[in-house]
């Protein structure tokens, strides 16, 4: 691991180029921050230095403050790891220095990295550079002045949107907004930045200290109105996350009392949030998510991923069409196979609707949508399977059917073709029982909607080869998923965890607890929705199939609720046919469906676990909540 360092080179033009180097993202480790202070002090002392350019090595400016430091703080609860650099470094040393600084920004400038650039007197960026303040996604707020400088450069509304959604913008958009002073090619970046710095010295360019700019803030009353609306949005969408309101409070402090006061409050609030449970949890997730990409004896044995250009998806239902969508929008050619023209057309229509939905949400351009759909071919047989690099089977959770399909595709596909199943629960050894090439069997368990949800369970058996695992992990990353490698057992990781949770919910309902109250308790606890609304989304057929698998795998240890089967008999299948626990009407939130209550009563009668169940409500309620936590 090359060490973190800050270098400085002074050119004949009198410009000192200070370069941060801390691969792979030039994170602002404490050594980098100390190095910046040291080089700046030297640059200020030297008479041959007229101006400074700050840049990052390796085509990236900086990915922000070193998040490892937060982990150190969490372990020790010792904030001294976080001495104040916002004022000391970025105000006193950079922004208020007697010599101007220009940031030469390439690749990405995120968090503290962008904040260093904001403290400079101009920013020159290479094309498509990623600029953002994603600190709220880590449970904190920008702590190097971003809450004050960003609104003063791009305007309050845009700044609040970028911070609250941890949404980056490109250097091109930054130029339009006034965050970036010029966008030039990588080759020109340093030259233009040096010239810009000298132009500031010679008064040919403005010497801008963004902390003191107010022209983009509008009037205080307008600003307070924007913040009021943002507060209401945060209260509604993320009521459990303290960093959102805290960020708005800090921004307001600076608007009402001035940028410097805002900085002082920012540092205080930042240090409080660093120790919050939310920050501890989200920073753990940050590293845990990256740790999943390191799989012993797979990613560390020198294997190179093979190029997967063409994938066959078998089954154009909810999951198959979602998987096909995820592949084609990432430029992977898809052959979608169904058993008849009606189902095939339905699958293709679903994919087209998925792609249109992404365009409507601004997640895909029209051109990319057209290109994606051009990479989809519907078939009714295996004739196009000879040259596919991977097959993903996504048919119903029926073991004999899956075994039949795998026998067929093993005969038709090339010997290197990856044979994947999207099963959510069935043991892969069972799925592949009838084929010989067990090393190519792997689970590609997507989560509905497959073209949206980021998690991809990569399920391996004892025989799955390291190459196949690596190939699927690579495809997962290419289609913007987070691949997590798990072993093959009933339920793999997610459903094995989810199943007892769902069981508990059904247990309580059959004990007499109000179903809709359970959903309210869970959504008030902070999950996106309760177990029954979620069951409406995934459909009752899945719930019944998964329930049977678990009952078989854990005989005598599961509670078999009659409710799902009664619902199916009553012609209900959740949101899919508009008849679930809730009523689904376009444009409005799901409403409890009173016509489901008699079915629930019937389930209680059949389950007969506790007549009425009233006596246990308090204990159960406590137990259930504890259970969910």
Q: What residues contact residue 399 under an 8 Å CB cut-off, 6+ apart? A: 426, 430, 431
CB of 109 to ligand LNIPZVSO, least distance (A): 10
Stretch binding ligand LNIPZVSO (CB under 6 A), from 58-66, 367-375, 531-539, 609-617 = 58-66
Q: How far is the C-alpha of 196 from the C-alpha of 207, rounded, in Å? A: 10
Among positions 135, 389, 519, 549, the unique one binding ligand LNIPZVSO when judged by CB under 6 A: 135
Q: How far is the C-alpha of 247 from the C-alpha of 272, rounded, in Å? A: 12
Element of type H or E holding 74: helix 67-76
**Between 66 and 95, CB nearer to ligand LNIPZVSO:** 66
Which residues in 114-133 contact ligand LNIPZVSO (CB under 6 A)? 115
Among positions 90, 120, 139, 144, the unique one binding ligand LNIPZVSO when judged by CB under 6 A: 144
Alpha helix ranges (H) inside 120-218: 146-154, 156-164, 171-177, 186-201
| Backbone dihedral angles phi then psi of residue 13, each to the nearest 5 degrees | -80, 0
Q: Find the catalytic residue in 95, 135, 253, 338.
A: 135
Q: Is 143 in the site for ligand LNIPZVSO (CB under 6 A)?
A: yes
The answer to whether 136 touches 170, Cβ cutoff 8 Å, is no
Nearest to 620 by CA among 477, 524, 521: 521
Among positions 35, 56, 63, 139, the unique one binding ligand LNIPZVSO when judged by CB under 6 A: 63
| 120-129 residues labelled b (16+ CB within 10 A) or e (exposed) | bbbbbbbeeb
CA dihedral of residues 445, 447, 449, 450 (deg, nearest 10): -30
CB of 414 to ligand LNIPZVSO, least distance (A): 31
Nearest to 332 by CA among 324, 340, 341, 342: 324
Stretch binding ligand LNIPZVSO (CB under 6 A), from 59-67, 247-255, 411-419, 492-500 = 59-67
Among positions 85, 395, 458, 537, the unique one binding ligand LNIPZVSO when judged by CB under 6 A: 85
3-state secondary structure of 391: strand
Q: How far is the C-alpha of 424 from the C-alpha of 151, rounded, in Å? A: 46
CA dihedral of residues 317, 323, 324, 329 (deg, nearest 10): 140
Q: How far is the C-alpha of 444 from the C-alpha of 456, rounded, in Å? A: 7
Q: How far is the C-alpha of 572 from the C-alpha of 567, rounded, in Å? A: 5
CB of 221 to ligand LNIPZVSO, least distance (A): 29
| Backbone dihedral angles phi then psi of residue 231, each to the nearest 5 degrees | -65, -45
Stretch binding ligand LNIPZVSO (CB under 6 A), from 25-33, 358-366, 524-532, 560-568 = 25-33
CB of 174 to ligand LNIPZVSO, least distance (A): 16
Q: Is 553 in the site for ligand LNIPZVSO (CB under 6 A)?
A: no
Stretch binding ligand LNIPZVSO (CB under 6 A), from 4-12, 22-30, 40-48, 491-499 = 22-30
Among positions 6, 40, 66, 488, the unique one binding ligand LNIPZVSO when judged by CB under 6 A: 66
Question: Closest CB to ligand LNIPZVSO belongs to which residue?
Answer: 111
Size of the site for ligand LNIPZVSO (CB under 6 A): 30
Q: Is 67 in the site for ligand LNIPZVSO (CB under 6 A)?
A: yes
Q: Find the catalytic residue in 95, 115, 252, 549.
A: 115
Q: Is 68 in the site for ligand LNIPZVSO (CB under 6 A)?
A: yes
Residue 586 CB: number of other CB atoms within 10 A?
4
Which residues in 220-279 contact ligand LNIPZVSO (CB under 6 A)? none
**Between 119 and 521, CB nearer to ligand LNIPZVSO:** 119
Which residues in 278-307 contact ligand LNIPZVSO (CB under 6 A)? 290
Residue 584 CA, distance from chain mean position? 27
Q: Is 134 in the site for ligand LNIPZVSO (CB under 6 A)?
A: yes
3-state helix, strand, coil in the chain (%, to 5): 50, 15, 35
Q: How far is the C-alpha of 558 from the C-alpha of 543, rounded, in Å? A: 14
352 is catalytic: no
| Backbone dihedral angles phi then psi of residue 293, each to the nearest 5 degrees | -85, 0
115 is catalytic: yes
Q: Is 513 in the site for ligand LNIPZVSO (CB under 6 A)?
A: no
CB of 192 to ligand LNIPZVSO, least distance (A): 24
Residues forming the site for ligand LNIPZVSO (CB under 6 A): 24-25, 27, 30, 33-34, 37, 63-68, 82-83, 85, 89, 108, 110-112, 115, 134-135, 138, 142-144, 146, 290
| Catalytic annotation, residues | 115, 135
């Amino acid at each position: 691991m090359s060490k973190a360092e800050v270098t400085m080179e002074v050119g004949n033009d009198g410009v000192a180029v200070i370069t941060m180097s801390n691969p792979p993202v030039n994170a602002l480790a404490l050594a980098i921050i100390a190095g910046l202070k040291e080089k700046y002090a030297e640059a200020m002392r030297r008479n041959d230095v007229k101006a400074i350019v700050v840049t990052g090595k390796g085509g990236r400016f900086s990915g922000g403050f070193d998040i490892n430091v937060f982990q150190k703080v969490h372990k020790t609860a010792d904030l001294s790891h976080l001495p104040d650099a916002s004022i000391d470094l970025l105000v006193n040393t950079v922004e208020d220095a007697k010599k101007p600084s220009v940031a030469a920004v390439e690749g990405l400038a995120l968090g503290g990295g962008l904040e260093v650039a904001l403290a400079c007197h101009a920013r020159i960026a290479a094309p498509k550079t990623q600029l953002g303040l994603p600190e709220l996604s880590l449970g904190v707020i920008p702590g190097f002045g971003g809450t004050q400088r960003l609104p003063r450069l791009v305007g309050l509304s845009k700044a609040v949107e970028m911070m609250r959604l941890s949404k980056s913008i490109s250097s091109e958009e930054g130029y339009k907004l006034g965050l970036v002073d010029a966008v030039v090619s990588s080759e020109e970046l340093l030259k233009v930045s040096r010239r810009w710095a000298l132009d500031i010295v010679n008064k040919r360019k403005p010497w801008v200290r963004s902390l003191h700019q107010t022209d983009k803030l509008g009037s205080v009353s307008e600003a307070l109105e924007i913040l009021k609306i943002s507060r209401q949005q945060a209260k509604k969408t993320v009521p459990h996350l303290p960093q959102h309101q805290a960020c708005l409070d800090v921004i307001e402090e600076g608007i009402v009392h001035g940028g410097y006061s805002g900085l002082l409050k920012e540092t205080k609030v930042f240090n409080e949030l660093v120790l919050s449970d939310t920050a501890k949890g989200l920073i753990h997730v940050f590293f845990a998510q990256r740790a999943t990409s390191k799989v012993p004896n797979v990613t560390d044995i020198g294997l190179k991923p093979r190029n997967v250009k063409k994938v066959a998806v078998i089954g154009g239902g909810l999951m198959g069409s979602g998987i096909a969508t995820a592949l084609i929008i990432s430029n992977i050619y898809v052959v979608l196979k169904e058993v008849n023209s009606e189902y095939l057309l339905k699958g293709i229509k679903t994919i087209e609707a998925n792609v249109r939905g992404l365009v409507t949400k601004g997640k895909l351009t029209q051109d990319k949508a057209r290109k994606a759909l051009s990479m989809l071919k519907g078939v009714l047989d295996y004739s196009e399977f000879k040259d596919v690099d991977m097959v993903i089977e996504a048919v119903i959770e029926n073991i004999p059917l899956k075994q039949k399909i795998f026998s067929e595709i093993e005969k038709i596909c090339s010997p290197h073709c990856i044979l994947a199943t999207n099963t959510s629960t069935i043991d892969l050894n069972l799925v592949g029982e009838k084929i010989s090439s067990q090393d190519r069997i792997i689970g590609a368990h997507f989560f509905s909607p497959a073209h949206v949800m980021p998690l991809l369970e990569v399920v391996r058996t004892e025989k799955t080869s390291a190459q196949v695992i690596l190939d699927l992990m690579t495809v997962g990353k290419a289609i913007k998923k987070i691949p997590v490698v798990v072993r093959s057992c009933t339920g793999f990781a997610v459903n094995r965890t989810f199943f007892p949770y769902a069981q508990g919910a059904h247990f309580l309902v059959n004990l007499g607890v109000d179903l809709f109250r359970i959903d309210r308790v869970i959504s008030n606890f902070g999950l996106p929705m309760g177990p029954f609304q979620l069951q409406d989304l995934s459909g009752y057929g899945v719930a019944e199939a998964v329930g049977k698998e678990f009952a078989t795998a854990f005989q005598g240890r599961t509670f078999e609720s009659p409710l799902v089967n009664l619902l199916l008999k009553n012609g209900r299948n959740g949101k899919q046919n508009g008849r679930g626990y809730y009523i689904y009407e376009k444009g409005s939130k799901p409403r409890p469906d009173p016509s489901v209550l008699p079915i629930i009563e019937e389930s209680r009668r059949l389950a007969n676990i506790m007549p009425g169940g009233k006596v246990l409500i308090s204990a159960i309620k406590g137990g259930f909540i504890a259970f969910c936590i």
